[in-house]
Amino acid sequence: MNEKMEKTGIRTVAKLSGFSTATVSRALNNPQSVSEDTRTRIQAIIEQTGYVPHGMARALSSNRTRTIGAIIPTIDNAMFARGIESLQKYLSSRGYMLILSTNGYDIDAELEQARNLVGRGVDGLILRGDCHHQALRDLLVTRDIPFINVGIYNPSQPHASIGVDNEAAAHRAMMHLIEIGHRRIGVVSALQRNNDRASARIRGFKRALSENGLNLPTQWHVEVRYTLDDAREAARQILTGKNVPTAIACGNDVLAYGVMLEAERRGLRIPTDLSVVGFDDLEWSRHLRPALTTLHVPTDLTWKGAGEYILARLEGHRVPNHYEIDYSLVVRESTGAPRR
């Protein structure tokens, strides 16, 4: 489609809708700047005529591609899926498109993917956590591309962040087990390599134990990937032998599911023989029997908030760099006082 066809197209939409070409352009490029009724009428004409705005022409005229990039560790996790869905919905409502990439917790791969996204002209970038190559941060700062780290709250760092205080949240989860009487507590956590969220949660678990004069034996702490199979293997290691914990704190809900499955296979009753607490409050957690006690983290609000920050920066607004998201302990059926 050449420039003449592009202009003719938008003029046709303007004529049939009864609005000026400027209003149609605003409805396409900045939907929030016009009323919902105006957007609806213009969209009806676009669908009627089959008009498709030319992406390259729009990018040249506005110096924007209206695309936002996001790099996450994996899509094989319900938490990421829920967050990305919320982000995509918000960006779409503002006339932006999301380009998604995964790095498998590999910061070298992340750097290469970020370079590719920048080369494709993304207007902003959303990253997971704050374990990145310095070269990546330098690239985005030099090119004045706004970015934000999702899933952490780190006001001590200069780069924008939005998420829960993972250490404090994990501390609260462990304190719940201690408060109901547990003194022998194990931990199944995610691998800490290139995962600052996992490291912070482990610090929170250990701090709660230390503050109450409790220790975490080496054999009771296993780090694994976020899979049910690995979580079950971790539970097998911890629950083998005579000296076993009465409770296990998990770095996320998927790991907790694996621990509960393995405990059931071994004939243990939850929570009578073993209490289990998770982290994230995925949808399945309330449907399990017994339902999982966990830390509720509003993932959808976190990722939408990341999108709001990026677009606010692109629109020239001065906004805070760091946003702390509240968490809450949801006590269900998987935790109870230890059997005496």
Q: Where are the domains of the chain?
A: 3-62, 67-164+299-326, 166-295
Residues paired with 188 in a beta bridge: 222, 250
Task: Give the Cα-Cα-Cα angle 303, 308, 309 (nearest 5 degrees).
Answer: 95
Please, how many CA atoms are within 13 Å of residue 20, restricted to the half-sphere of its CB?
A: 4
Residue 1: the pLDDT is 39
Determine the straight-line distance between the first and last CA of the chain, rounded to whole angstroms: 76
Residue 22: the pLDDT is 85
Q: Which fold has domain 3-62?
A: 434 Repressor (Amino-terminal Domain) (1.10.260)
pLDDT tens per residue across all 340 residues of the chain = 344 334 447 888 888 888 888 888 888 777 778 888 898 888 888 877 767 665 545 554 556 789 999 999 988 777 788 899 999 999 999 999 999 999 999 999 999 999 999 999 999 999 999 999 999 999 999 999 999 999 999 999 999 999 999 999 999 999 999 999 999 999 999 999 889 999 999 999 999 999 999 999 999 999 999 899 999 999 999 999 889 999 999 999 999 999 999 999 999 999 999 999 999 999 999 999 999 999 999 999 999 999 999 999 999 999 999 999 999 999 999 999 998 7
Residue 163: the pLDDT is 97
166-295, superfamily in CATH?
Response regulator (3.40.50.2300)
For residue 299, give the 3-state DSSP assignment.
helix
- Helix-helix angle 21-29:55-62, to 10 degrees: 100
67-164+299-326, superfamily in CATH?
Response regulator (3.40.50.2300)
Residue 53, preceding peptide bond in cis (omega within 30° of 0): no
The model's pTM: 0.80
What 241-245 contacts at long range (C-beta under 8 Å, 24+ apart), as own/partner pairs, is: 244/184, 244/186, 245/182, 245/184, 245/185, 245/186, 245/220, 245/274
Residues paired with 329 in a beta bridge: 295
Residue 285: the pLDDT is 95
- Do 67-164+299-326 and 166-295 come out as alike in CATH topology? yes
Using CA atoms, how far residue 43 sits from 10, 15, 19, 20, 28, in Å, is 12, 13, 12, 14, 9
Question: Hey, what are 217's tokens?
Answer: 């034996």
Residue 148's nearest CA partner among 138, 133, 140, 160 is 160
3-state helix, strand, coil split of the chain in percent (to 5) is 50, 15, 35
* Amino acid letter, 30: N
For the chain, what percent of residues have pLDDT higher than 70? Answer: 94
Residue 3: the pLDDT is 43
Residue 58: the pLDDT is 52
